[in-house]
């Protein structure tokens, strides 16, 4: 009998950490799941301190600095070599020799040592939660039980590639507005601090005849030139304060809720979180992962606290013997069509196939939403930038025309 250290996240969000004793990894995992949540980490401690050592390394951050591209490359290479009939330890050694990222190379080296010592590959992966997500670990564990390791690695690679592509699309949709906003702010600050002060000489002694926009602009220019340090401290302090605020429990909930209400952005966020949740659940169900673990992992990777709470309520309902669809139907974040299709899948016993089809449909919907949001943002940002620059230019030129008329 061995001693295992576990880390379990309950549906309420509570984290449980402790030890248990079991004859095997599978029995230990079952005991950990019986605590009522998703098993995030399960480390065997009784092998001459090896588990303690590796657990400590994981807690100290071994695996940090490993990006999505490194993980995708590792998974794809391992899938190809495994399907070619190459042994796992040999494949890990070969991949480790080719990796250029030293952090990932260290992870692969540790995985190879663990596998050589007789550990299951999924157990070795669990030591690096910063690199291998619960979804990754559970899909590998399911493949070890079913004997479809190479095929499952292919599916994991496809999932990772899809997630990276989605991230690139969302990031790309935000790049253009960010550039426009940066240009607008830079142009405004430049004109107020460098251009406008040179025109103020022309307006000295003529303040009474200046139009209101020019007076406002002159006051803003004088304050920015004379008290620039206050603006700088305000910007830095506001950014730092906001970053700290959204990391708090209340701030995190508020910000996740705000993203679902901001015009234009809300449509994109709803599509993103729904697509991510359905794809994750579909992959896990198709992999043969137990339903309770599937729903708990879906909640964890949903990306938004409010969507996570939806899946947590589903998890609680399923634990009580209820079906998935009725709980989803009561949520305002889940479209009726989704709950109806999942209900049909539960009725026919084809939930895995239904989830796959639904996730693919919403992946396409997400791409269409990204294009629509980008198309809507571009003219809005152009008009906003034009209005700012036009206001500044008009505020400078109007008094010049007025003074020239009085002089004439």
Domains of the chain, by residue range, sit at 1-46, 160-408
Q: How confident is the model at residue 61 (pLDDT cuts 50, 70, 90)?
A: very low
Q: Find, among 170, 74, 151, the residue nearest to 377 by Cα.
A: 170
Q: How far apart are CA 40 and CA 56, in angstroms?
A: 15
Q: Which residue has the higher pLDDT, 193 or 233?
A: 233
* DSSP annotation string for 137-167: HHHHHHHHHHT-HHHHHHHHHHHHHHHHHHH
Unique residue bearing structure tokens 């600050």: 189
Q: Which residues pair with 8 in a beta bridge?
A: 16, 39
14-28 pLDDT tens trace? 667 777 777 776 677
169 class by beta-carbon count within 10 Å (0-12 exposed, 13-18 middle, 19+ buried): middle
Question: What digits encode the pLDDT tens for the residues 29-44?
Answer: 777 777 777 777 677 6
Region 206-219: mean pLDDT is: 79
The whole-angstrom separation of Cα 106 and Cα 122 is 17
Say if residues 95 and 101 touch (Cβ distance below 8 Å). no
- Average pLDDT (171-178) is 79
The whole-number average pLDDT for the span 177-201 is 81
User: Phi-psi bin for 75: left (phi > 0), alpha (psi -120 to 50), beta?
Assistant: alpha
What superfamily would CATH give domain 160-408? Type II secretion system (T2SS), domain F (1.20.81.30)
Question: Is residue 152 within 8 Å of residue 140, measured between CB atoms?
Answer: yes
Is the pLDDT at 47 greater than 60? The verdict is no
The answer to whether residue 225 scores a pLDDT higher than 80 is yes
Residue 384 burial (CB < 10 Å; 0-12/13-18/19+)? middle
Q: State both tokens at 276.
A: 């991510």
**The predicted structure's pLDDT at residue 64:** 58
- Which of 94, 130, 134 lies closest to 112, judged by CA? 94
Q: Give CA 23 to chain center in angstroms.
A: 37
Q: What is the mean pLDDT of the chain?
A: 81
pLDDT over 90 for what percent of the chain?
Answer: 6
Burial class (CB in 10 A: 0-12, 13-18, 19+), 123: buried
- For range 241-261, the mean pLDDT: 90
- Tokens for 184? 């607008």
Looking at residue 49, its pLDDT comes to: 44
C-alpha–C-alpha distance, residues 220 and 396, integer Å: 13
Q: Give the single-character DSSP code of 207.
A: G
Q: What per-residue confidence (pLDDT) applies to 408? A: 52
H helices of 260-350, in order, are: 265-287, 291-301, 305-319, 324-329, 336-348
* Banded pLDDT at 55 (limits 50, 70, 90): very low
Res 280 pLDDT > 90: no
Residue 60 has pLDDT above 50, yes or no: no
In this prediction, residue 9 carries a pLDDT of 72
Kindly state the tokens that stand for 328: 């989803």
Instruction: Tell me the C-alpha distance between 71 and 62, whole Å.
Output: 14
Residue linked to tokens 């920015």: 224
* Spatial distance between the Cα atoms of 232 and 321, rounded to a whole number of angstroms: 57
C-alpha dist (Å) from residue 116 to 26, 27, 119: 19, 22, 7
Query: For 319-351, how does the pLDDT look when each residue is reduced to its tens digit (9 = 90+)?
Result: 888 889 999 999 888 889 888 999 998 888 888
Mean pLDDT along residues 77-104: 86
The pairs formed by 137-141 with CB atoms below 8 angstroms and a separation of 24 or more are 138/284, 138/287, 138/289, 138/293, 138/294, 138/297, 139/283, 139/284, 139/287, 139/289, 141/29, 141/289
Give me the sign of the Cα torsion angle 294, 295, 297, 301. positive
| pTM of the complete model | 0.69
Residue 405 confidence (pLDDT): 67
With beta carbons less than 8 A apart as the criterion, state whether 231 and 189 touch.
no
CA distance 388 to 394: 10
Does residue 59 surpass a pLDDT of 50? no
Q: How far apart are CA 274 and CA 295, in angstroms?
A: 14
């Amino acid at each position: 009998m061995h001693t295992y250290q576990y880390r379990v996240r309950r549906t309420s969000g509570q984290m449980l950490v402790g030890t248990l004793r079991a004859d095997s990894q599978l029995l230990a995992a079952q005991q950990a799941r019986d605590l009522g949540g998703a098993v995030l980490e399960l480390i065997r401690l009784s092998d001459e301190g090896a588990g303690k050592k590796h657990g400590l390394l994981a807690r100290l951050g071994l695996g940090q600095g490993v990006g999505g591209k490194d993980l995708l490359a590792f998974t794809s290479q391992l899938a190809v070599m495994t399907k070619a009939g190459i042994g796992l330890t040999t494949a890990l050694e070969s991949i480790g020799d080719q990796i250029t990222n030293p952090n990932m190379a260290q992870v692969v080296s540790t995985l190879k040592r663990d596998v050589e010592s007789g550990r299951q590959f999924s157990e070795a992966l669990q030591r690096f939660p910063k690199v291998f997500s619960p979804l990754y670990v559970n899909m590998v564990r399911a493949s070890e039980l079913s004997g479809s390791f190479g095929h499952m690695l292919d599916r994991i690679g496809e999932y990772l590639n899809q997630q990276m592509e989605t991230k690139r699309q969302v990031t790309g949709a935000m790049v253009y507005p960010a550039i426009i906003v940066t240009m607008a702010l830079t142009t405004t600050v430049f004109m107020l601090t460098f251009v406008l002060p040179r025109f103020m000489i022309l307006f000295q002694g003529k303040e009474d005849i200046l139009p209101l926009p020019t007076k406002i602009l002159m006051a803003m220019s004088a304050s920015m030139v004379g008290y620039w340090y206050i603006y700088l401290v305000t910007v830095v302090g506001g950014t730092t304060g906001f970053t700290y605020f959204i990391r708090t429990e209340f701030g995190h909930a508020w910000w996740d809720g705000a993203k679902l209400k901001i015009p234009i952005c809300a449509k994109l966020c709803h599509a993103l979180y729904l697509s991510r949740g359905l794809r994750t659940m579909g992959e896990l169900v198709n992999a043969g992962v137990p339903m309770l673990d599937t729903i708990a992992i879906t909640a964890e990777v949903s990306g938004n606290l409010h969507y996570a709470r939806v899946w947590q309520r589903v998890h609680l309902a399923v634990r009580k013997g209820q079906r998935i669809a009725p709980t989803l139907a009561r949520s305002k974040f889940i479209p009726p069509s989704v709950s109806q299709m999942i209900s049909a899948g539960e009725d026919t016993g084809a939930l895995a196939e239904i989830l796959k089809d639904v996730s693919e449909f919403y992946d396409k919907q997400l791409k269409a939403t990204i294009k629509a949001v980008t198309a809507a943002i571009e003219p809005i940002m152009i008009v906003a930038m034009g209005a700012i620059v036009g206001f500044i230019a008009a505020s400078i030129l109007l008094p010049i025309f007025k003074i020239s008329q009085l002089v004439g």
